[in-house]
Amino acid sequence: MTVLAYEIMTPSIKAVPQSWTMDRLARFLTDNEITGSPVTDETGEIVGIATLKDITEFRWNASRSESDARMTPEEEQEARRLRMAIFEEMGKVPVEVRDIMTPIVLSVDEQTPVRDIADIMMREHLHRIFITKDDKITGIVTTYDMLKLISDQELTNRCAGNG
């Protein structure tokens, strides 16, 4: 018997509004011990996903140096100083979740076999995928949820076709 998405999904989804600041998102993720969250618009519809990786990439891109450019050491130092000055000024105007989120929302139906979900997650390099029923999001499957397949002997046997 095939294991389906609804059997391993996490039904409670902690979503954040797209108008939250990046710092508030970081605190939310840390407080809830999660690495990503769906993002909702003003009507409550999920419009994307924001992760710790998005926050890290935003901050890293603001502070990295452009080593490909052919600049003298003095020019590189000046470019770095200007980039940091701009980043500091940007810090005065809060960066919102909508500015760093990934707007693509991948989902599968509750009746999708977990093998298909694993294939999608591997192919798309995803750590989480939304689960839907009648086009409404009812849960999420994360890499942690996929580990249930290994830790639960009954689920393991069913995935292997032994149960």
Domains, the chain, in order of start with CATH, read: 5-56+96-159 (3.10.580.10)
pLDDT per residue of the chain (163 residues) written in tens, 0 to 9: 789 999 999 997 888 999 999 989 999 999 998 888 899 999 888 899 999 989 888 877 665 555 555 778 888 788 778 877 776 766 666 789 999 999 877 899 999 999 999 999 999 998 899 998 887 888 999 998 999 888 888 888 888 776 5
Which residue in 46, 29, 52 sits closest to 138, CA to CA? Answer: 46
pTM of the model: 0.68
Residue at token pair 């046997």: 157
